[in-house]
């Protein structure tokens, strides 16, 4: 495990970000090495350098802080002492990920449970406090998932959105803005709800908190990287106990890092918000939080000197240091005092909010159709730790509809009747046994439906929960429309000049819901191309397809697929694992089975320009590549497949798919006409040979071809026997 990066100044942060841009690490490694534990200090420093008003405020508060040290005032006279028992704050968790369901309901509940254990000081590992047990604090702050929304209606307290917006090292965060094109979710009322966002941390960032204070709609609540949010299969093993969230929420409730000002004990430096000023009585003179000369990485040995007083051990167990999650275990009593003061004085809405209580008149039975998962959606398999994609059928065929059902009633759902239709027909009714607790959801797999070429309307309706009446029937029905490409005919040509993408005749299959094929305005001799951003696509081995379905072919027909390609290998691809791959496959049965063509290129063989560690953003050199495809039916399905290995950007242009004419069927074996092994490429001629095609009889030396079936050759077709070869016809040969 690499050492955790600790960055104290904005300049250092910017340097680190530059290094991240130069040294690519695959996604299965980037979650773990290297990471930036927290960017709160850097965000404050950046604002200090760029915002004169904020800088003046911080300077004023620093003077107040230093005066309080000189005065040595007592904190007790400045506590409101409102808290007579635990205060439970409703939390809204906003998840913005390419597949937001990889953060499960169980994951979110684990986070809530961890927050309550750690803030209360009742965490099982609290005894790991060493010599600091006498100052270990027990906060009265508690957390629960929101149970009623801002309109007073029931909510699970979890919002999920398919998006690619990342968490940055400064505020404001795009992930907090619903207008962000790559995906964002707006905060709920910050006076009554605590908001937390889960997304991908940019450059290995694990978490960040905004400035301390009462909060605004665009600057409140913390952000946590999904790999540090909970204890699940996707978590970084060093940060898998939800304690990044504990750390960041600590910031939002008034705490600085324990190493904030080194040995001068800056943990209790003045708050930096104009609307929440800490009184002098809660400043550094009375703080019992041990100062740290520097942050702590990993899990140090017990008794490690703190660097300020060498004879004293480090309080590396403190949640506001930078140790691994397993080595955290405590807040100090002074930290608890400060957080509770901030709750009482800066966030008074939390003392009276009803957001954590179920709405009045909560129904007994309410089954909610939350989202259609299949077709066109994603789920997450916790057992295999993989995203499960349910793509829209690429051609006509059956599929299994799936719907996520949420329990909005107070009674556990044990059975539901589900009705499905496709285009208003083929009604399927089934009663499904299940078990869904209040506020939880499950995905139900339903009876198969058959999609048709063109537009399809799938409608799913829930009824009779637990064989009773649903209290809110308005949320029982959900629909989705999807389109299956009508098979085109050969020849097919596409230059991607039109702004529409995918263009007619092409279907994009994006299995993980993340980066996939899109349109770029740089083409080969025109203003368009198909493009996939492999430079930023850190999740390795993901497959993204462009699919073409064409009719007007016969079994055994050969098609030629040609296209222009431009690609720059990533430097490391020449010596390591960054081998982006482009291949061509075909399928006779709508993707149930696929066969690889002879075209497959990667690394230097795929490249058209020399390798480089910089992103390939302007394709300059193109190459014309060709693949041959053999049809096994009357519809030919051709797949252009990109397999991501986190290399560099790939461009395709001027795709052409045409039937090769004439087609020659070659008998090269011995004996039975109707045996695939006797024919070149295993393709037996159709019983009626199409116009222009040819059958060539060329058996093994000393062998023969035996026509033991009926064969018709059209007037414009031909059958030729190689000189000296044997052709015996016990069957029926008809030449028109």
Which residues carry out catalysis?
Answer: 248
The tokens 């869904």 sit on which residue?
Answer: 436
Helical (H) or strand (E) element with 338: helix 333-346
C-alpha 408/C-alpha 417 separation (Å) is 16
Beta strands in 536-591 (DSSP E): 543-551, 558-567, 581-587
Separate counts of helices (H) and strands (E) for the chain: 9, 39
Q: Are strands 87-97 and 158-162 parallel, antiparallel or unpaired?
A: parallel
Instruction: Kindly provide the b/e burial profile for residues 262-279, where b requires at least 16 CB atoms within 10 angstroms of the residue's own CB.
Output: eeebbbbbbbbbeebbbb
Quote the DSSP letter at residue 108.
H
Give the helix/strand (H/E) hosting 56.
Answer: helix 52-71
User: Which helix (H) or strand (E) element contains residue 272?
Assistant: none
Cβ 95 vs Cβ 159: under 8 Å: yes
| Torsion sign over Cα 374, 375, 380, 385 | positive
Residues 6+ apart with CB under 8 A from 482: 375, 376, 392, 451, 455, 456, 458
Angle at alpha carbon of residue 463, lines to 462 and 466, rounded to 5°: 115
Q: How far, in whole angstroms, is CA 84 from its chain's centroid? A: 43
Residue 151 falls in which region: left (phi positive, over 0), alpha (psi -120 to 50) or beta: alpha
Stated length of the chain: 736
Which of 491, 189, 470 shows the shortest CA–CA distance to 349? 189
Residue 288 main-chain phi, psi, to 5 deg = -100, 10
Burial class (CB in 10 A: 0-12, 13-18, 19+), 261: middle
- Residues linked to residue 624 through DSSP beta bridges, in sequence order: 564
For residue 143, what are its two tokens?
A: 């957390």
DSSP label at residue 512: T
| Residues 477, 403: Cα–Cα separation, whole Å | 11
- Per-residue HEC secondary structure of 176-199 comes to HCCCCCCCCCCCCCCCCCEEEEEE
**Distance (Å, rounded) from C-alpha 270 to C-alpha 58?**
8
Cα separation, 685 vs 605, in Å, equals 35
Alpha-carbon torsion, ordered 190, 193, 199, 204, to 10 deg: 70
Query: What whole-number distance in Å separates Cα of residue 163 and Cα of residue 183?
Result: 4
Instruction: Please give the structure tokens belonging to residue 680.
Output: 């070149």
CB-facing half-sphere around the CA of 413: CA atoms within 13 A: 31
Of the candidates 661, 692, 582, 588, the residue with the CA atom closest to the CA atom of residue 630? 588
Strand, helix or coil at 387? Answer: strand
The Cα–Cα gap between 524 and 495 comes to: 9
Report the candidate in 315, 264, 289, 223 with the shortest Cα–Cα distance to residue 38: 223
Q: Name residues whose C-beta falls within 8 Å of residue 45's C-beta, 6 or more positions apart in sequence.
A: 9, 10
Which residues contact residue 220 at a Cβ distance below 8 angstroms, ignoring those fewer than 6 apart?
A: 187, 190, 195, 210, 252
Cα→Cα distances 2→33, 217, 707, Å: 6, 37, 70
3-state secondary structure of 529: strand
Please, are residues 686 and 658 in contact by the beta-carbon 8 Å criterion? no
């Amino acid at each position: 495990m690499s050492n955790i990066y600790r960055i104290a100044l904005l300049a250092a942060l910017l340097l680190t970000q530059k290094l991240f841009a130069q040294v690519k690490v695959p996604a299965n490694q980037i979650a773990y090495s290297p990471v930036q534990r927290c960017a709160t200090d850097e965000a404050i420093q950046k604002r200090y350098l760029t915002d004169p008003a904020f800088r003046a405020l911080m300077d004023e508060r620093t003077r107040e802080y230093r005066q309080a040290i000189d005065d040595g005032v007592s904190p007790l006279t400045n506590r409101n002492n409102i808290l007579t028992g635990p205060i439970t704050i409703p939390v809204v968790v906003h998840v913005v990920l390419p597949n937001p369901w990889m953060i499960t309901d169980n994951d979110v509940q684990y986070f809530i449970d961890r927050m309550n254990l750690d803030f209360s000081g009742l965490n099982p590992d609290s005894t790991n406090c060493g010599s600091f047990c006498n100052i270990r604090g027990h906060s009265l702050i508690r957390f629960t998932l929101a149970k009623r929304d801002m309109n007073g209606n029931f909510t699970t307290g979890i919002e999920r959105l398919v998006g690619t917006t990342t968490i940055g090292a400064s505020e404001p965060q795009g992930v907090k803005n619903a207008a962000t094109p790559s995906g964002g979710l707006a905060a709920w009322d910050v006076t009554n709800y605590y908001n937390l966002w889960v997304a991908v941390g940019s450059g290995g960032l694990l978490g960040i908190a905004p400035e301390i204070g009462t909060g605004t709609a665009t600057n409140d609540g913390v952000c946590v990287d999904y790999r540090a949010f909970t204890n699940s299969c996707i978590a970084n093993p060093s940060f898998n106990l939800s304690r990044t969230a504990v750390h960041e929420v600590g910031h939002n409730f008034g705490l600085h890092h324990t190493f904030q000002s080194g040995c001068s004990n800056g943990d209790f430096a003045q708050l930096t918000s104009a609307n929440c000023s800490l009184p002098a009585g809660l400043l550094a003179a009375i703080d019992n939080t041990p100062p740290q000369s520097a942050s702590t990485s990993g899990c140090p040995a017990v008794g490690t000197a703190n660097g300020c007083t060498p004879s004293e051990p480090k309080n590396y167990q403190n949640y506001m240091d930078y140790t691994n999650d397993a080595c955290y275990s405590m807040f100090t009593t002074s930290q608890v005092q400060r957080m509770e003061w901030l709750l009482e004085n800066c966030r008074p809405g939390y003392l009276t909010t009803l957001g954590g209580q179920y709405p009045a008149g909560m129904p007994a039975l309410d089954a909610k159709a939350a989202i259609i998962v299949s077709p066109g959606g994603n789920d997450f398999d916790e057992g295999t730790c993989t995203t499960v994609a349910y793509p829209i059928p690429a051609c006509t065929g059956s599929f299994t509809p799936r719907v996520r059902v949420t329990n909005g009633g107070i009674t556990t759902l044990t059975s539901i009747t589900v009705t499905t239709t496709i285009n208003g027909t083929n009604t399927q009714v089934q009663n499904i046994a299940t078990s869904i607790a209040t506020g939880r959801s499950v995905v139900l797999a339903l009876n198969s439906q058959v999609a048709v070429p063109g537009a399809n309307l799938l409608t799913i309706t829930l009824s009779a929960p637990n064989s009773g009446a649903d209290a809110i029937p308005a949320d029982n029905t959900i629909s989705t429309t999807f389109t299956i490409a009508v098979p085109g005919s050969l020849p097919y040509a596409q230059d991607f000049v039109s702004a529409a993408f995918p263009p007619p005749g092409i279907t994009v299959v994006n299995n993980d819901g993340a980066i996939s094929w899109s349109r770029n305005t740089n083409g080969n001799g025109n203003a368009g191309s198909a493009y996939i951003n492999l430079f930023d696509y850190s999740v390795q081995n993901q497959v993204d397809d462009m699919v073409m379905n064409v009719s007007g072919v016969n079994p055994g027909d050969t098609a030629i697929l040609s296209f222009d390609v431009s690609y720059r290998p990533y430097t490391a691809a020449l010596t390591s694992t960054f081998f982006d791959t482009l291949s061509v496959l075909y399928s006779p049965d709508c993707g149930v089975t696929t066969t690889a063509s002879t075209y497959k290129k990667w690394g230097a063989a795929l490249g058209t320009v020399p390798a480089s560690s910089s992103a390939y953003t302007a394709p300059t050199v193109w190459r014309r590549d060709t693949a041959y495809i053999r049809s096994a039916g009357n519809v030919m399905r051709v797949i252009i497949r990109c397999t991501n290995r986190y290399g560099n950007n790939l461009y395709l242009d001027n795709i052409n798919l045409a039937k090769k004419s004439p087609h020659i069927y070659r008998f090269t074996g011995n004996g039975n006409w109707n045996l695939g092994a006797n024919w070149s490429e295993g393709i037996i001629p159709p019983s009626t040979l199409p116009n222009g095609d040819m059958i060539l009889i060329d058996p093994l030396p000393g062998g023969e071809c035996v026509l033991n079936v009926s064969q018709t050759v059209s007037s414009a077709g031909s059958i030729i026997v190689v000189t000296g070869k044997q052709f015996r016809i016990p069957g029926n040969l008809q030449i028109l």
